[in-house]
Structure 1
């Protein structure tokens, strides 16, 4: 673990983060976290906390965090989709080799509707991509 603390701390929330500036320059050498802003990652909004004015360094750090966060979330999204493909394959194997009639009865209609919906969207999107080429 590093002995050097970062200058900023981002507490992740549903749509962004709360930004704190870290301060250890006090008599007790305690870690003080001063809230400086709230970020909304979806619309790019950065709201300074209270009457605070963000410095250029604050803005640059926040902008970099937002860019890094968007990249991470995009990577997680595609990873989730790859996992979904694996789950579909595992579900197929389960239905073919392990599922009881009662288990199949319990999930078949919902699975068929979800797969029909997914197929419809994928076919439409593929057609859109092909027509643009």
Structure 2
């Protein structure tokens, strides 16, 4: 059997379920034993059932949580940059392709969302400039 990791993390909203993998059994099956539940938002690690986590378990869980948080942060920025691209495509669509009925269907929602976004961005930029003294 291919070399498998010792742990498997099943992603779920706000965290993961952690399983210890066992392939060293007579049936040569992959056995998955749940050992913990993770909450990335608050950093909580709850052992599953009456289980006590080993230092190795805790170290691997900590490594995974750190790597996962970094990945999600990179994805978040990438999603925002895609939104910028989409806004540019929307601008081009509105200028060159959109029919009046299509514009009527989206204009108010877009204007409100853009106004809200602009207000937040301007306020946050002013806060950063004030903090940095510039």
Cα deviation code 1:20-51 (max 9, x no counterpart):
00001211111100000000000000000000
Between the aligned partners of 1:50 and 1:88, the Cα distance in structure 2 is: 48
CA separation in 2, counterparts of 1:40 and 1:12?
10
Deviations 1:82-128 (A, max 9, x none): 00000110000000000000000000000000000000000000110
| Match of residue 57 from structure 1 | 56
SS in 2 for 1:120: helix
Unaligned runs of 5+ residues in structure 2 are none
**TM-score in terms of structure 1 length:** 0.98
Is 2:134 the counterpart of 1:108? Answer: no
Q: Which residue number in structure 1 is paired with residue 86 of structure 2?
A: 87
Tell me, in whole angstroms, the C-alpha distance in 2 between the residues paired with 1:52 and 1:72.
29
Runs (4+) off by over 3 Å: none
**What is the rounded CA distance, in whole Å, between the counterparts of 2:54 and 2:88 in structure 1?**
51
Q: Secondary structure at the match of 1:114?
A: helix
Find the aligned partners of 1:92 and 1:29 in 2 and give their Cα distance.
57
Is it true that 1:131 corresponds to 2:130 in the alignment?
A: yes
Q: TM-score, structure 2 length as denominator?
A: 0.97
SS in 2 for 1:94: helix
What residue is the counterpart of 1:30 in the other structure?
A: 29
For the aligned residue pairs, the C-alpha RMSD in angstroms reads 0.9
Cα distance between partner residues in 2 of 1:75 and 1:4: 29
Aligned to 2:65: 66
